[in-house]
Amino acid sequence: MVKNFILRKRLFIFLTFILILPLSLSSAKERKQIWEYLNPEGVIKIEPMKINPHPDTLEGKTIMLRWNGKHNGDKFLERIAELLINHVKNIKVIKSWEVAPETVDPIAGSQERSLEFAKTIAKFKPDLVIGAQSD
Amino acid sequence: MGIPTVTISSSEFVSLAKDTSVGKGAADLSFVIVPHPLGMIPLAEIREKADRAFPLIMKAATEWKPEAKLPPIKPIYPAQKLIFEGTISEFNQYLMDKGFSIGLPVIPPTPERVKKMLKGTSRKPDELLGMVPPRMGALTVELVAIHAVMAGCKPEYMPVLIAALEALLDPKANWRGLTTTTATSSILVIVNGPIIYEVGIASRQGAAGSGHQANASIGYAINLIADIVGGSKSPSPDKSLLGGPGDFVAWVFGENQLALPKGWEPYHVDRGFKRTDSVVTVMGVYPPVDNIDHWSTSPEEHVRWWSYLASPLLSIGGPCWISQMDQPHIIAIGPEHAQLISGAGWTKEQFQKTFWEQARIPFSAWPKGCPNVDLLVKRFGPVNADTPIPMTLKYEDIHIVIAGGAGKHSHFFAPFPGCFPVTKLIRK
């Protein structure tokens, strides 16, 4: 009698296991579904800036060479200054690092400070600014 | 200002230069590209590169005309609803492929979850917080909630997250520089006041490390927003040479106000707020230097050792980037080190002064090519090879925070150039 009960109990556990196994396997498997989600990118909001026209010639013009302080940028612009003076008539070349050393800073740090630099350079009334930057 | 420009950029950085000009409103600018690099090469090579670039510079100066136009501005609210069919793994892969991820899994920002997240703040979902550089994505409160969901935030974290983002959007935080630099920089977020305990910001053992949901998820949300809304993706416009863990999760911790030495005010009081205010301070930083000191038995000995450990970071300021000498540097003192210092009767100011006086390196340590030697002399005074140069021009710019739990460590956070600490009140 007792043996019979134990056998029936074991059979019950075995059958329960067989029945539950596929269910647990199917719940572990990822299910496809339709995801409605909100775009995390956001829209670009930029106010357009007016772009100034370039001169047709550099003859008789004042050119500001602007160095931001990155290594060798001044050496590169020094050579450009020599070439401009040799190739263009009546050109005036101003070097920012000589006339406005406070504008030499590899990382301006803020738009306000960049604007300060630009205003300082504009005071020299150049017709064109040639700037060297990056590493 | 009415002045045309020609910008010379090296080939490795021209995409960043173009992205930056678009972000500032110039759809098209005149660029001349020279082969990378320009820095750290001999003079003869520089002159040769200039000779080759000269005809292109002349052409750009006199013939260039703008062609590209900016995209039209679309409504910033509500966020666009999108559909994807697939498993959760496929959804995450899809977000990664679309650029809506930074490589870690996210929770799908469904409209229902975002709506629930917005209940954590009284701010209106259509409120515009600002434009996230360099992409200039318009960051609304709704968009913050979308990223908070993706990062695993709880709704009650929203006021802290919003305040941190408002601080980052302040021009003094220099978020643009942080997200486009070649440096391994990251965002430091320090929380002060009762909010620490109200929402569960970790402020003691391992506070800025793993296992603290509020700190980790807020830090993750900030970087998701920087990369997805701000578009700061590697390799451009995020030009990080190596990058690091700070690119994934910002450093977030509460000041350990319970461990403040007697007579020392918490950091937010130093910043001009009341003790009862809840505030967040952000600053762009380099990876910190760990001050390991198990041995000192007096503040004098401890500060002397500390100043040697911190000295290598002096090289990023001084005659190389003089403006950094005006920027606050943050020392997160461990509670046990704070007890050593204050136990001998030292005030916070005494520590600041002594550290500032001792943490110096000789002028001769800087590379010869540093551009700001003349300005350094103008502001600091005459220098010779042996002149000890401090990290800042005044001792008050050494900021002190008590951080972490038991142990013999403190951390020194040097600012990324142009980044100042910005503190904002947390509004619920």
The domain locations on chain B are 7-63, 88-259, 289-425
Structure tokens at B265: 């005010």
Give the Å distances, CA to CA, from A5 to A1, A12, A17, B66.
Answer: 6, 11, 18, 91
**Residue to substitute from A26, A30, A43, interface B, most B β-carbons within 10 A:** A43
Q: How far away is chain B from the Cα of A25, in angstroms, using its nearest Cα?
A: 16
Nearest beta carbon to residue B172 from set A37, A105, A110: A110
Q: What do you get for the CA distance between the two ends of chain B, in Å?
A: 42
pLDDT at A18 exceeding the cut of 60: no
**What are the extents of the domains in chain A?**
62-132
Secondary structure of chain B in HEC code, one letter for each residue: CCCCEEEEEECCCHHHHHHHHHHCCCCCCCEEEECCCCCCCCHHHHHHHHHHHHHHHHHHHHHCCCCCCCCCCCCCCCCCEEEEEECHHHHHHHHHHHCCCCCCCCCCCCHHHHHHHHCCCCCCCCCEEEEECCCCEEEEHHHHHHHHHHHCCCHHHHHHHHHHHHHHHCHHHCHHHHHHCCCCCEEEEEEECCHHHHHCCCCCCCCCCCCCHHHHHHHHHHHHHHHHHCCCCCCCCCCCCCCCHHHCCCEEEECCHHHCCCCCCCHHHHCCCCCCCCEEEEEEECCCEEEECCCCCCHHHHHHHHHHHHHHHHHHCCCCCHHHHHCCEEEEECHHHHHHHHHCCCCHHHHHHHHHHHCEEEHHHCCCCCCCHHHHHHHHCCCCCCCEEECCCCHHHEEEEECCCCCCEEEEECECCCCCCEEEECCC
- What is the pLDDT, as a whole number, of residue B53? 97
Cβ pair B192, B278 in contact under 8 A: yes
Q: What is the pLDDT of residue A7?
A: 63
For A43-54, how does the pLDDT look when each residue is reduced to its tens digit (9 = 90+)? 998 888 888 999
Tokens (6 digits) for B88:
């959760």
Residue B134 contacts A, CB cutoff 8 Å: no
- Alpha-carbon gap: A100 to the closest alpha carbon of chain B (Å): 11
B292 touches chain A (CB under 8 A): no
Q: What is the rounded average pLDDT for all residues in chain A?
A: 85
Q: Best mutation site among A41, A49, A85, A97 for testing chain B: the one with the most B CBs within 10 Å?
A: A41
More confident: A7 or B215: B215
User: Residue with structure tokens 């401009």?
Assistant: A84
Token pair belonging to A81: 């200054």
pLDDT of residue A28: 63
The strand order across the sheet containing B279-285 reads: B251-254, B186-192, B279-285, B422-425
Each residue's pLDDT expressed in tens, for chain B with a length of 428 residues = 789 999 999 999 888 888 888 888 888 889 999 999 999 999 999 999 999 999 999 999 999 998 888 878 899 999 999 999 999 999 999 999 999 999 999 999 999 999 999 999 999 999 999 999 999 999 999 999 999 999 999 999 999 999 999 999 999 999 998 998 888 999 999 999 999 999 999 999 999 999 999 999 999 999 999 999 999 988 888 888 999 999 999 999 999 999 999 999 999 999 999 999 999 999 999 999 899 999 999 999 999 999 888 876 666 778 888 888 999 999 999 999 999 999 999 999 999 999 999 999 899 988 888 888 888 888 888 999 999 999 899 999 999 999 999 999 999 999 998 899 999 999 99
Selection from B268, B277, B282, B77 nearest residue B161 by Cα: B282
The pLDDT confidence band at residue A20, using thresholds 50, 70 and 90, is low
Let me know: does B199 contact B138? Beta carbons within 8 Å.
Answer: no
Residue B154 CB neighbours (<10 A): 16
Residue A33 has pLDDT above 70, yes or no: yes
Query: Residue B50: which of A47, A79, A128 has the nearest Cβ?
Result: A79
User: Among B239, B286, B254, which residue's Cα sits nearest to residue B164?
Assistant: B254
Q: What's the pLDDT score for residue A2?
A: 54
Closest CA in chain B for residue A100: B375
pLDDT greater than 60 at residue A25: no
Give tens-digit pLDDT for B45-88.
999 999 999 999 999 999 999 888 887 889 999 999 999 999 99
Whole-complex ipTM: 0.92
A34 vs B110: CB contact, 8 Å cut-off? no
Do the chains contact at A37 and B109, CB–CB below 8 Å? yes
Taking contacts as CB-CB distances below 8 angstroms, the residues of chain B near A70 are 38-39
Question: How many residue contacts between A and B have a Cβ separation below 8 Å?
Answer: 265
Contact B229 A131 (CB under 8 A): no
Instruction: Please judge whether A110 and B228 are an interchain contact, meaning their C-beta atoms are less than 8 angstroms apart.
Output: no
Contact of B285 with chain A, judged by CB distance below 8 Å, is answered with no
Residue where the block lists tokens 């601080």: B167
Kindly list the residues from chain B whose CB atom is less than 8 angstroms away from the CB atom of residue A116.
none
Higher pLDDT, A29 or A57: A57
> At residue A15, does pLDDT exceed 70?
no
CB contact under 8 A, A52 and B38: no
Q: Does B44 touch chain A (CB under 8 A)?
A: no
Give B302 to chain A, closest Cα distance, Å: 34
